[in-house]
Structure 1
Amino acid sequence: MFALYRLNYHNQYYAAFPDAEQLRQIKKLWLESLADYGVSQLLAGAKRAIEGSEYLPTLNRMHRCCREAAADHGLPPARDAYEEACTAPSPKAAQPWSHAAVYLAGRDSGWFTLANKPEATSWPVFRDHYERYCARVLAGEELTLPPAPALAQAQDRGKPLSDEEQLEQLRQLRRDLAL
């Protein structure tokens, strides 16, 4: 990302980051602030910033460009995707997902892991899977959800029993259970 900035904003870049120590501090700050974005999303955001402005982007602008790059493809932010995957009820394939990448990352992370492991364990696993799917989407791939499972056909149980027949079955059940 910084290499793209150096190539595109040569003079501004060297004016903004005149020495190696300052550049190291800026990179550390940006790394911490942009940690929720995947590499592909960061690069897409950097390209978006370069295409949309003659000036070196600020950290705030970079956040906006990363969100816009993902939103152009319908991808929610990674944290929102994680929360959606963790709280989705079963059956998972039948849920209305915000994007197929969320479902696929959740599936690959393991629904049990997302539902039962602490966030410190499940979030990095989910984020890695989600970043891979985001990279594929940003590269132009169209992800699809598996078909929703069909509901079992209700068996024809005939007509409902009359009140008298229901009472007789209840009496038979009591006799069988010695109640």
Structure 2
Amino acid sequence: MEPQATHQLLNRVTQQLKPASADSTTPAGDNTASKQPSVEQKEAINQIFELFRFNYHNQFLKAFPDHDTLIMAKRLWSRLLVDYRGDVIMRAAEKAVKESGWLPNVHEVVARCDIADVLGLPDPHRAYMEACRAPSPKQEYRWSHPAVYYAGRASDWFFLANNIEEVAYPVFKRNYEILLRRLQNGEDIQMEIAPALPEQIERPLPREQQQQRLQQLKSLL
């Protein structure tokens, strides 16, 4: 391919994908450039483009007028969506199609890759409220999903019950999102979650208060 033609091709693909580079919701701290898409993810990308071709025929042909443009776009989408499982990507694309009369760009698909929503789980705040309101014994409560219970357990039931939302919710949200990632990756959500490093070291409670707190914890289980 001639250099000028290559430059024009890159410009076309970049224009179609431009919103994604400025405001992607891909999890912070992940180096997507070092990851390679799996076979499942590549198949999902191919299915997405076929879905778009069928639903946005004229817009699709305008955005991807030739084979080289289409291949380059698929490669870029694969890199930008590498943090999400194939079925999550596919459902996010289907959701984008249902909600838009215009050809979605990769940014709009990434924005819909909400793992909790795709997997049918409550969002973090709804899960937090469920964990706080669930009666004891916690193990016998009919949870909307086991991940809510394990996130509450990892956060410490006593801690959730005795702290305001401003303090307790960030802890629960962190643990819940860890479990969502495990679900996404097909991992065991029953494994213990390592506690976050404290911002400051607290002094141990006196022995009497420790025993009292232990009794309170037992009543919550």
* TM-score, reference length from structure 2: 0.43
Corresponding position of 2:84: 44
* Contact in 2 for aligned 1:74/1:99 (Cα 8 Å): no
Q: Which amino acid aligns with 1:129?
A: N
- Per-residue deviation, residues 60-96 of structure 1 (Å, max 9, x unmatched): x655x234x4344332111110100011111111100
For 1:122-137, what aligned pairs fall within 5 Å after superposition? 122-137=168-183
Largest Rg, 1 or 2: 1
Unaligned runs of 5+ in 1: 1-8, 32-36, 145-179
Distance (whole Å) between structure 2 residues aligned to residue 133 and residue 102 of structure 1: 9
- Per-residue deviation, residues 129-179 of structure 1 (Å, max 9, x unmatched): 0011000001113546xxxxxxxxxxxxxxxxxxxxxxxxxxxxxxxxxxx
Corresponding position of 1:151: none
Corresponding position of 1:106: 152
Corresponding position of 2:113: 66
Q: Cα RMSD between the aligned structures? A: 3.7
* Contact in 1 for aligned 2:17/2:107 (Cα 8 Å): no
Q: Size of the alignment, in residue pairs?
A: 118
Corresponding position of 1:86: 132
Evaluate the alpha carbon distance shift between residue 115 and residue 78 of structure 1 in structure 2; reply closer, same or farther with a 3 A threshold: same
Distance (whole Å) between structure 2 residues aligned to residue 93 and residue 120 of structure 1: 26
Distance (whole Å) between structure 2 residues aligned to residue 75 and residue 142 of structure 1: 16
Distance (whole Å) between structure 1 residues aligned to residue 126 and residue 119 of structure 2: 15
Corresponding position of 1:55: 104
Identity of aligned residues (%): 37
SS in 1 for 2:113: helix
Aligned match for 2:17, one of 4, 13, 18: 13
Aligned match for 1:121, one of 155, 167, 171: 167
Unaligned runs of 5+ in 2: 1-12, 31-80, 98-102, 191-221
SS in 2 for 1:130: helix
